[in-house]
Amino acid sequence: MSSAILKSPWRLFISGCLTIFAGSLLAYLVQTSGDITIKDVRFTGNNGQTLSALLYIPPNASARTPAPGVLAVHGYINSREVQAPFAIELARRGYVVLALDQSGHGYSDGPAFSNGFGGPAALRYLRSLDLVDKDNIGMEGHSMGGWTVLAAAAAMPDAYKSIVLQGSSTGSGMAGPGTPDWPRNVAVVFAQFDEFAPLMWEVPKGSQVADSNKLKALFDTEATVDIGRVYGSIADGNARVLHNPPVTHPGNHISHTAVQHTIDWFAQTLEHDPIEGPSSRNLEGQIWFFKEVGTLIAFVGFLMLMLGSMRGLLTLPVFAPLAQAPGSVAWQVRGKRWWVVAVLSAIIPVATFYPFMGFGAGLISASSLLPQGISNQVMFWAIANAVLLTGLGLVVKADKVSFSVISWQSKGVLALLFALSTVLIAYSSLLLADYFFKVDFRFWFVGLKLLSVDQFQAMLVYLIPFTLFFMLSLRALHGGLSVAGDSRRYQYVSNAMVMAGGFIVFLLAQYGSLFLGGQLLTPAQPLNTIVMIQFAPLLLMVSVISTCAWRHTGSYVPGALINGMWVSWYIVAGQASQAV
């Protein structure tokens, strides 16, 4: 590659492409280690529902030599990819694994919660595969995924041999109550710092799960359940064991210990001859985390690619009219008034998060036009905060900022094409990563996925309010908090702290309380707190993209349009649809 290209405005674009390739390749090599084959499958469920899954096939599995099978299911507002740690390690040990997108999630038809969450149909499909030993099938589910496999167990009580409930429970209004005889051979892996302890097992803290009356009924004991002790009989189908790893509810996904407990339970309860390779009980033999590292590297490359695309596109004649340095600034120095505005701008979105998410749930029901419940809540929060932040700028006056003029009569359409081109380039990179490597861009449950046709149609509707949010909030950011003399680095850091700093500080306080005292500061808000975790990295990315666009166009509009498009894509592709 010539030095001229590396020194060109496209060098960041090229670096982003290489980073995406390296991360995606690493993830692919890890998830296919040991000659594992991964297939993207679709099958028909109850009432004509189309369900989606990833099928992990080890080399020992064939029609002549069927292997034991495992149905693995993610939790609420997650997708099949989140089950990768369990799927990778089980497949490497000789199990055929079906990682399901439950109803209304990922690429499975909605609505969410319908047809037993898709569990019964998925178990039937797994049993229909000629390379699966139908007498040796286990099921593993995290959170609502636990209720999915319990629905399958209720519908087909003789079609499986054992279950692992990860951060999940029997009963809870979503599954049948656990008894000494149902479900069959259960391992409960419930975290010491699980945010859902009151809902799942009716105890204040996850570390107290062994004293749960619900759990005692499942284990057929009146005494505190002994962690790690196997109760009952595997041969009789009434075996039970409890594990209590020191992680959080979503932390079960990225816990070597939680994965190991799953491996151990299926090794005890399913009959099979392990393939040559990792020991079934070798904690150090797990390699799945490197897949998470690979997709994280690819996600970083995605951000680099967008930044490089913006800078490169502005050198083309068609977009050159947009290229302009910022003009005036709002503040000559960072005085007390600047700090007041900055701190309030960081605090207000966090302070309003729980109440506005609650208002959004009550005011905007899922419908064919706006089918996603959590997306509707976030939409309400976003619009309300855009109005509040705009009002803050009107109350606390700063010097008027002269933005680069982008009127819809002149440069507005050009700015829209510029934003669309940037996002299409980024989307194409994910298409290629999915096609060649069967990966998306993610770390943990923060993942950027391709859109289905239905999701794309929904995104076009959500795009309007989310773009409005970014138009107002980013105008307030660059028009109300820009400071004369700031270096490039200071601009990026300052804007990132204003947009994401409040969430980062609050989440540190939330989880400091959880780890030190066993409960969140807001114990009644476990789901929204987990949703909030995604806001920190997303708003950091938004601030970087917006600052880059503002520095190179002198306007908040291109950055707002780009962020409106890719964040709408991110949200809709990753959320559950409660309506169809």
Which CATH number covers residue 54? 3.40.50.1820
Looking at residue 490, its pLDDT comes to 94
Q: Quick one: 253 and 333 in the same domain?
A: no
**pLDDT tens for each residue of 522-537:** 999 999 999 999 999 9
Instruction: Flag whether pLDDT at 1 surpasses 60.
Output: no
Looking at residue 491, its pLDDT comes to 95
Q: Quick one: 182 and 252 in the same domain?
A: yes
pTM to 2 decimal places: 0.95
Q: Which domain holds residue 365?
A: 292-322+329-574
Q: Quick one: 297 and 276 in the same domain?
A: no
Instruction: Flag whether pLDDT at 394 surpasses 90.
Output: no
**Residue at 249 is within a domain:** yes
Average the pLDDT over each of 51-65, 391-405, 450-464, 500-514 and give the range with the smallest value.
391-405
Residues belonging to the chain: 580
**Residue at 108 is within a domain:** yes
- With bands split at pLDDT 50, 70 and 90, how would you rate the model's confidence at 277? low
To the nearest 10 degrees (0 to 180), the angle between helices 11-31 and 84-92 is: 50
Looking at residue 284, its pLDDT comes to 58
Q: Quick one: 360 and 393 in the same domain?
A: yes
Pairing relationship of beta strands 162-166 and 446-448 according to DSSP bridges = unpaired
Distance CA 58, CA 390 (A): 56
Distance CA 212, CA 206 (A): 10
Instruction: Flag whether pLDDT at 161 surpasses 70.
Output: yes
Q: Quick one: 256 and 310 in the same domain?
A: no
**pLDDT tens for each residue of 220-269:** 999 999 999 999 999 999 999 999 999 999 999 999 999 999 999 999 99
Q: Quick one: 232 and 98 in the same domain?
A: yes
- With bands split at pLDDT 50, 70 and 90, how would you rate the model's confidence at 327? confident
* Residue 406, phi-psi category: left (phi > 0), alpha (psi -120 to 50), beta (remainder): beta
**Residue at 11 is within a domain:** no
Q: Quick one: 167 and 310 in the same domain?
A: no
Instruction: Flag whether pLDDT at 401 surpasses 90.
Output: no
C-alpha distances (whole Å) from 125 to each of 39, 45, 427 are 14, 9, 32
Note whether 86 and 74 are within 8 A (CB): no
Show the tokens assigned to 422.
Answer: 């940037």
Q: Quick one: 266 and 299 in the same domain?
A: no
Q: How many CB atoms lie within 10 A of CB 400?
A: 8
**Residue at 358 is within a domain:** yes
Q: How many CB atoms lie within 10 A of CB 391?
A: 12
- With bands split at pLDDT 50, 70 and 90, how would you rate the model's confidence at 4? very low
Instruction: Pick the last residue of a domain from 286, 306, 337.
Output: 286
Query: Residues 355-383: what's their mean pLDDT?
Result: 96
Note whether 411 and 322 are within 8 A (CB): yes
**Residue at 158 is within a domain:** yes
Computed over every residue of the chain, the mean pLDDT equals 94
Average the pLDDT over each of 77-86, 218-227, 385-394, 556-565 and give the range with the smallest value.
385-394
Backbone angles phi, psi at 311, to 5 degrees: -65, -40
C-alpha distances (whole Å) from 474 to each of 185, 412, 469 are 54, 17, 8
Q: Quick one: 475 and 507 in the same domain?
A: yes
Q: Quick one: 497 and 365 in the same domain?
A: yes
Looking at residue 6, its pLDDT comes to 44
Domain count, the chain: 2
Looking at residue 406, its pLDDT comes to 58
Q: Quick one: 259 and 401 in the same domain?
A: no
Instruction: Pick the last residue of a domain from 286, 311, 344.
Output: 286
Instruction: Flag whether pLDDT at 443 surpasses 90.
Output: yes
Q: What is the 3-state secondary structure (H, E, C) of 246-264?
A: CCECHHHHHCHHHHHHHHH
Instruction: Pick the last residue of a domain from 286, 314, 338.
Output: 286
Average the pLDDT over each of 28-42, 62-76, 329-343, 441-455 and give the range with the smallest value.
329-343
Q: Residue 449, Cα to own-chain centre: how many angstroms? A: 9
**Residue at 25 is within a domain:** no
Show the tokens assigned to 578.
Answer: 């409660």
DSSP 446: E
Note whether 58 and 67 are within 8 A (CB): yes
Looking at residue 285, its pLDDT comes to 86
Query: Residues 93-103: what's their mean pLDDT?
Result: 97
Strand pairing partners for 138? 70, 162
Distance CA 10, CA 5 (A): 7
Query: Residues 495-502: what's their mean pLDDT?
Result: 97
**Residue at 555 is within a domain:** yes
Looking at residue 230, its pLDDT comes to 98
Q: Quick one: 385 and 400 in the same domain?
A: yes
**Residue at 26 is within a domain:** no
Distance CA 209, CA 205 (A): 7
Query: Residues 431-452: what's their mean pLDDT?
Result: 97
